[in-house]
Amino acid sequence: MNTSVTALAVVYPDTAALARSFLSWPIRRGVFVPTTKALPFGESVFLSVRLPFKALPTFASGRVVWRSEQGVGIGFDEGFDDLADLLEDVAKGHRDQSSFAFFRPQS
């Protein structure tokens, strides 16, 4: 039994890049992560995700649900519904960046 976990980091420089990378079809939703690593389907992944409207990275775990030459699709593990909801709202354009003021660091 393989118990390894691969760590990946992704930075979305703006909400348009985030919207293009959001995956709505896995049961728990997920994101596309550009990588040259050849990860097998089902591989456990720990993600560090930098969002354009958040000062610190957000962390999530998931599994590889699809692959391409450009990267992998990661379906979130159970327990990351709040993150998935937030990313889905951004992807659908239901919120603009000003709605995320509560994520900005206090001066």
**pLDDT tens digits, one per residue of 10-69:** 998 888 888 888 888 777 799 999 999 989 999 999 999 998 888 899 999 999 999 999
- Say whether pLDDT at 96 is over 90: no
d(CA 32, CA 46): 13
Model pLDDT, residue 15:
87
Which residue, 77, 92, 87, 94, is CA-closest to 52?
87
29 against 104, higher pLDDT: 29
Q: What is the mean pLDDT of residues 72-90?
A: 91
Q: What is the CATH number of domain 5-94?
A: 2.40.10.220
* Residue of 101 and 54 predicted with greater confidence: 54
3-state secondary structure of 30: strand
